[in-house]
Amino acid sequence: MHFVAKLTLILIAFVSSRMRGELPSAESDRLAQIAGDIWGVVEASEDNLFEGEAGREMSALLLAATAAQETGLDRQYQTCEGCPIGGRRCDGGRSVTLYQLHQGAFAWGPYSRDELCGDNALATERAYHVLLAHRRHRASVPGLFCAYQGARSLSPAAREKVKYFNLFAKKAGLKIYRANHNLAADWLPGFAPYVDEDDELDRGSDPPLWWEFSAPAYASR
């Protein structure tokens, strides 16, 4: 199975642990589509957040961790129904999608709120654009997350992103190392971009024991 399948299983495990139970098939399918969108954006990009043999895979995990912390991968934020204009969440509705893209040309580009809220692949592309724009902070994952948050120090939200990113990377079997003052990624011994058909994170399985989950206050900014 391709890496997108492994990413799908990781996202399902994340949401299952939050929901504390097996997910409906429609929800699993939605998370599979999110994983596909993430991988499609990273694969199509001419640049990665990480160098090395597994640079694309690690870049995809960082995107996934961003969405996991920002919104818990919740459907209502993907469609922006949970971010009403003038409401209490999502910066009063000015931050949208799973990635909480803040209103403005830098994050939204030439697209409207409706376009971003109606196309998760487009929203993922814009989130990756924002992360790549902060390439000067790529010397550390915390620095990159701080830049995404617009914070000068490691905020609680950035700490949560680092936590989820490390968990995702551990499960995927990836490691980080430095290459010419930049971050690079490679596979841990015994791991590859594939998973077995009887992987422990099968869609119907209970939340795995490795998951040390505590719910973030997503979309509260």
Grade residue 20 by pLDDT with cuts at 50, 70 and 90: confident
pLDDT at 75 over 70: yes
How confident is the model over 144-169, as pLDDT tens digits? Answer: 999 998 888 888 999 999 999 999 99
Q: CA dihedral defined by 69, 71, 74, 79, rounded to 10 degrees? A: -140
How confident is the model over 26-63, as pLDDT tens digits? Answer: 999 999 999 999 999 999 999 999 999 999 999 999 99
Domain boundaries, the chain: 3-187
Q: What is the pLDDT of residue 205?
A: 46
Phi, psi of 87 (to 5 degrees): -80, -175
Partners of 96 in beta bridges: 101
Tell me the pLDDT of the chain averaged across its residues: 88
Where would I find the H helices in the chain?
3-19, 25-44, 55-71, 75-78, 90-93, 105-108, 113-117, 120-133, 141-149, 156-172
Q: What is the C-alpha end-to-end distance of the chain, expressed in Å?
A: 37
